[in-house]
Amino acid sequence: MSIVPNSPALAEPLHGAPCWVELPTPDERAAIDFYTGLFGWTYADVHGRTIAVVAGLPVAELLPADGGFGWTLYLNTPHARATAEKAHALGGHVLRAPDDVSTLLADPTGGVIGFRHVPPDWLFGTDGHGAYAWAELNTRDGATADAFFQELCNFEITQIGDGQAVDYTTWAVEGHTVLGRQRMGRAFPPETPAHWMVYFTAAPEIGTDSVASRVLELGGRIVVEPYDTPFGRITVAADPAGNTFSAIDPTRQAPLSEEETGAPVDDPYDD
């Protein structure tokens, strides 16, 4: 189950709100070709950095690197060093020493997340085909993850479902829902570690199924075939290097039955 709100972009970056995504890759040219073919990304060279662009706005960065954690989400923080210190005190692990701009952490359940200090005029596109749409932490210890991020980012946490058959929480900042947390169940192989899933928008005129087909044409693979949720039609894919991500068409909404969810699910965005 995935919760992807259709909310307008925030007027300014808030502490704990998503502000960037990046992909470390050993073959930058292959990554550029794949995501250009899939989402139509164009690219800008910004001081030697490869920045993907959708509708004139930056949406992601591709980094030349021998290793990494796949698609990596960054949350806004007013002070990267202070965030790293607090995360360590709360039981997290600092994976990259903080500088004045950013740090990379693992929460106590193992999910890898970045924090970045961004200026008020920071640009991060969240509209259009291939733009960032949503992200959620998949973990087997939801309570620990909720407590850690609530203390670290002062998130307002809302439980979706009954917390047992369906254990999914949304995290909000000043009333704006910004992230989700899903407890991994039997659908996930036992060896699957805690991880963040980044979602990109599949434009309605293209659709999730067409995105899935295009992934295969470009040499990627489909991890989860397209399926319907109350928040859009979703597929989980992997690029040719094995980096997983999701695509969602938020206009294709279909309610789940109680039998499918294990409990009634109230849509928190249905006023």
CA distance 52 to 115: 20
Query: Which parts of the chain are beta strand (E)?
Result: 18-25, 42-46, 49-54, 57-64, 72-76, 93-96, 102-106, 112-116, 132-139, 156-160, 168-173, 176-183, 195-201, 221-229, 232-238, 244-249
CA distance 184 to 177: 21
**Angle, in degrees to the nearest 10, between helices 28-39 and 208-217:** 140
Strand, helix or coil at 12? coil
CA distance 41 to 149: 32
Q: pLDDT digit of tens for each residue in the chain (271 aa)?
A: 444 444 434 456 799 999 999 999 999 999 999 999 999 999 999 999 999 999 999 999 999 998 889 999 999 999 999 999 999 999 999 999 999 999 999 999 999 999 999 999 999 999 999 999 999 999 999 999 999 999 999 999 999 878 888 899 999 999 999 999 999 999 899 999 999 999 999 999 999 999 999 999 999 999 999 999 988 999 999 999 999 999 999 999 887 555 444 443 333 333 3
Strand, helix or coil at 40? coil
- Spell out the domains of the chain, with CATH numbers in brackets: 18-261 (3.10.180.10)
Backbone angles phi, psi at 210, to 5 degrees: -70, -35
